[in-house]
Amino acid sequence: MHVGGKWTNVRCTELHKFVCKYKPAERVLCADQRSDCNLLIQRTPDLCVRYQETFALAKCAKTCGLCTNKTAGVPLSSITCQKFDVRPNITLVGNVTSLKIGQVVQYSCLPGYVLVSGDLVRMCQISGALTGTTPKCIAQEDSSMPVNNVDIRYRHSTGSKGIAYFANSTNMRISRTGDINRWIFYSNFDGLAVLQVWRQTSTVNQFFLVGHNIIQNTGNGRKVTVDIPRQSRIHVQPGDMIGIHYDFVHPSGISFEDCKIEYNAEGGHMFMSKFVVAHVTNWMPGKTYLFHPSNACQIFSLNAIIGRLDLRKRKGYK
């Protein structure tokens, strides 16, 4: 504490009727305390607005334009961003004509379109340019989208031999029409896996096997991406669910881990095949099978990429 022209140590346990506060406007030099502020605003464009009081003022004051012109040495208040490129199928959120340093512009894809490149949130930088790149949105049916956002990594558990698993949850439920053109998974050890798509029937706990892709060798201790040939792609629709069957003789090491439903709702609503299915040849796409619901909460390192529906492989196409 500065008292009478001298700095004096004060015990933290002593009580005082005042606190010392350093006003940002009183800073002598406008500078960032961190060397990676430019990187941070690229990753989190609204950092200067969302975390102004708790982070930006202290750590990235210059990058966020929070200094006075006097301490900055340059007229920060006169720097603005006024060029907002808007491509087809995209709209600006709000009536934005000009931005000061640290402020953001937000874009939105039109209904029925999805973002395929660029950034929907961009910040005005000290250079007068926006962070990121101009966003591009295309029709949803023309895009490729993952079923979930699960981190594909090592998990300590694998399924029981001869049992199939799937879930009616956001981690495994498909939300669009299209074809599965790619599977992504993590396998703890090599084996045979049947990656499946299931559909609810009108009968409780009875499900229709839409189709499956057989992976003969899942790999040992690695993340695997499998591109599916056009003629083998499974046609899916909203509400279908991805799943996996573990071979009885040579089960794969595609892994999962247990979770708590109160914290990971996306890991619930699991189903397990009612009977042991020994081999892939016992599965017949187009048939229905009995499953029983499970109280388990499980997150699988498994994902599928849904692409555009390809009519060229459909029967009767000419």
The pair of structure tokens assigned to 125 is 């930088």
Higher per-residue pLDDT: 263 or 163: 163
The residue among 34 and 6 whose pLDDT is bigger is: 34
- Joined tokens for residue 240: 């279908």
* Confidence at residue 315, expressed as pLDDT on a 0 to 100 scale: 44
pLDDT tens-digit series, residues 56-93: 988 999 999 988 765 555 667 788 998 888 899 999 99
Residue 27 clears pLDDT 80, i.e. is over it? no
Q: What is the pLDDT of residue 317?
A: 37
What is the pLDDT at residue 70? 58
Q: What CATH class has 78-142?
A: mainly beta
pLDDT reading at 243 higher than 50: yes
- pLDDT band at 1; cut points 50, 70, 90: low
Average pLDDT, the chain: 88
- Name the residue ranges covered by the structural domains of the chain: 78-142, 145-312
pTM above 0.75, yes or no: no
